[in-house]
Structure 1
Amino acid sequence: MGSITVTKKIDSATGKVVTSYRAFIRRQVNGKPVSKSKVFPTKTSAKDWLRENESDAALQQLGRTRGPTFADLIEDFVKAPPVRGTKFWSASHLEFWREQFGCMKTGEISRGDINAAVARLQNKPAMRRAHEGVKETGQTVTPATVNRYLASLSSVFNYAINHEIIDVHPLKAGKVKKLKESGGRRRILTPAEEDRLYEAAREARWPMMWLFLRIFLTTGARKSEVLKLRWKDINLDESVAVIPKTKNDDPRALPLVTDVKTALLEAQKVRPLGSDFVFFDPRRPERPKPVEETWKAVRQRAGLLNDRDDPLDRVYLHTTRHTVATKLLKKGANIAQTANITGHKTLAMLKRYTHLAAADAVDLAQKLLVDDERGEA
């Protein structure tokens, strides 16, 4: 017999009540209990699934699967030491997959199940972190985000393969295809545009805006890294700011160039007693500064606010990170040196942000492959 249970819970990110319907099938097949379940957003879809899966043939196939439930597999996975193929995962990603497949046996999760879950994931609201908590952006998750969810799922199945829980990886061999991702933001600031931004930053009402921008353009740091920077992380004697935990969960040292050190010394003299943040909110010193409106005004004053039709070609704070990485490579730094400054974890990620122009590639080829060859001759 099949049954449907209703679950209601409050989404911690949105505060909304989310209703889900879990369909269960329980039978005795060849003298042993066999069960199958799946979660749906509507009762109608749960009923349709029950009709399609209550046949003895479907349950006979289920009876031959093996392994723990997917929820139990996840519990074992997160406790296990990471090895090759299981290192990438996110707790929020795994929670989504637990909701989709938690009560299913690991061996019964099929390509169709995963593709159906991906379709639901594509309609999931994209979220962003703000000072007051996590908020919806008004958009759905990007293809890149979906692919990161799939990467976390793949790590779990790699763990199951390594421990002989399953024989076939349901995501491999093209069974579940990754979504095509955007090429990413392409804008690189020119020296003239940097100068205009610096000038506009000096004219901003917030006196720390120039220093804020200067740190971005001399370190390639992420927005969250700079906003969360605390005075205890600053070591002016060593000319570094040490970030204990980055987006990649690794510590990172930001280089502090001479004029940044000078500006930090001046800022340190007027820091409020109630805050350890370098870039504090003047109204609430115990919090980081909300910079969105100030940064918007700076771009507008510099003539760089929505100055191009394609959103990927417009100037954002992340454009500074892209600019720094590209400038370092163009001026002779190698990939390892660039990654050491910008904090990119992998070569593949760094390549997404560094697009040398064709002319630059020609110049490099001429200098490194032709002129040097002639010199050796």
Structure 2
Amino acid sequence: MGSVVEHKRTDKRTGKTVTQYRAHIRRVGFGSRSKVFATKREALDWIRNNESDNALTKRASAGGKTLASLIEDFIAAGVCQYASQAHLAYWCDQLGNKLVSEITHGDINGALLSLRTRGGRRFTPDGIKPSGKPLTPATINRYAAALSAVFNFAQAHGVIDAHPMKGGKVKKLKEGPGRQRILTPEEETRLLETARAARWDGMYLFVLMLLTTAARKSEVLNLRWRDLDLGRGIAVLGKTKNGAARALPLVAEVRKGLAELSKVRPINSDFVFYDPKQPGRPKNVDTAWQFVRERAGLNDSDDPVHRVVLHTTRHTGVTKIIRNGANLAQAALISGHKTLAMLKRYEHLAADDVLQLAEHALGKVGTGSSKG
């Protein structure tokens, strides 16, 4: 049966008292439903339109899907690139057996709190092992973003009416300034020289592409031969992290390396950087990268802000683009950042250039010169 409950609240913006009406539908054997309306008439009409057996049966069927089942559908649909398998696996472990319609913001906040105390984990040849370090707020926010994407998917397909993470019920943690390390020209040279000596033949070209395209690791690793247009000197990324297509510029040395690599590509793989043991999959470069970083003398800091990681190549590339005169909009065309606000973090990396600009534009103040 249906019922309407009146309640009042104070609008934080205007300070006025607002009256709202929450309509409830409860039936034995079906999940309960509720919705808030501005008038009692709207609430009663909603109950009348949704209290039929057909509406309740449809709701019960959708609500009967577990989170684990929903995540399977989400992965199969391939609608989101930034939700990693590891993050989704965590949510399956924590809440996978619960019905999607019954998951509350309290359940989600509790699981996120567990992440803050659990600590990080790393992939090794012997399996997943604890890293001994706490997860950063940024990493925890990525876990939350992955689950939010799943609920967006559920809402778009009518599995749920309300998103349990919206409306400020699940808050993002305040993130730090992010990684600030960029490579010097001398460090870039050492890195490339060491990459040439790596056991995996493709490591040099892989690192060179990262440094010269400012692309993400996943974007380069997932390149297929059909994505390359060596005549035009570009690689076309059809689906990137932010959902938009873009072209990677390929400098002359990269084009030469790709042309040589194409002559020995295996028949049973379309990946440019394929796994020699499993050609149908892209190469897992983690072990090779650790070797190259250490041999190049770049494993020199435990501070996550200043530690050299594979993503440092992207920070370095974007910073060099800006230092060489590109504005944020131009840099975004190359890097693929979705908004200019996301590129703001790179401006402080080019802070050394500020003094030179100030000297040129303002250094003649008080001298009578027209410059400055």
What is the TM-score of this pair, normalised by structure 1?
0.61
Correspondence for 1:258: 252
1:31 and 1:283 map into 2 onto residues whose CA distance is 57
Distance 2:310 2:190 in 1: 15
Look up the equivalent residue of 2:218 and give its one-letter code.
S
Q: Does 1:285 align with 2:287?
A: no
Match of 2:305 in 1: 312
Report whether the alignment pairs 1:182 with 2:182.
no
Q: 1:371 to 1:268 in 2, by over 3 A?
A: farther
Cα RMSD after superposing both structures: 4.7
Gapped runs of 5+ residues in structure 2?
1-23, 33-58, 67-79, 156-160
The answer on whether the counterparts of 1:185 and 1:313 sit within 8 Å (CA) in structure 2 is: yes
Secondary structure class of the residue paired with 2:248? strand
Q: 1:115 to 1:311 in 2, by over 3 A?
A: closer
Is the Cα–Cα contact under 8 Å of residues 322 and 354 in structure 1 kept in the other structure? no
> For the residues of structure 2 that align with 1:253 and 1:321, how far apart are their CA atoms?
15
Residues 1:374 and 1:137: Cα distance change in structure 2 (over 3 Å): farther
Distance in 1 (CA, whole Å) between partners of 2:224 and 2:81 is: 28
CA distance in 2, matches of 1:268, 1:30: 63
1:254 Cα deviation after fit: 0.8
What is the deviation of 1:252? 2.1
Q: What is the CA-CA distance between 1:334 and the residue it aligns to? A: 0.7
Change (3 A) 1:276 1:89: closer
Q: Show the counterpart of 1:297.
A: 291
Query: Displacement of 1:241 after TM fit?
Result: 0.5
Contact 1:274 1:285 in 2 (8 A): yes
Distance of 1:97 and 1:371 partners within structure 2: 65
CA distance in 2, matches of 1:215, 1:30: 58
SS of corresponding position for 2:326: coil
Deviation at 1:333, TM superposition (A): 0.9
Q: Helix, strand or coil: the match of 2:235?
A: strand
Return the offset for 1:177. 4.5
Structure 1, unpaired ranges of 5+ = 1-28, 38-67, 76-86
Is 1:347 aligned to 2:340, yes or no? yes
2:218 aligns to what?
Answer: 224
Question: Residues 88 and 152 of structure 1 are in contact (CA less than 8 Å); yes or no, is this contact kept in structure 2?
Answer: no
Q: Which moved more, 1:115-124 or 1:327-336?
A: 115-124
Q: Kindly indicate whether residue 231 of structure 2 is the aligned counterpart of residue 233 of structure 1.
A: no
Instruction: Report if aligned partners of 1:125, 1:137 keep a CA contact under 8 Å in 2.
Output: no
Q: 2:140 aligns with which of 120, 137, 146?
A: 146
CA gap of 1:178–1:34, structure 2 versus 1, over 3 A, is farther
The Cα offsets for residues 203-247 of structure 1, whole Å up to 9 and x where unpaired, read as 333332221111000111111111111111110111101122122
Aligned to 2:7: none
Tell me how far 1:347 sits from its aligned partner: 2.5
State the SS of the aligned residue for 1:193.
helix
Deviation at 1:197, TM superposition (A): 1.1
- Identity, % of aligned positions: 49
Q: Conserved in 2, the CA contact under 8 Å of 1:97 and 1:153? A: no
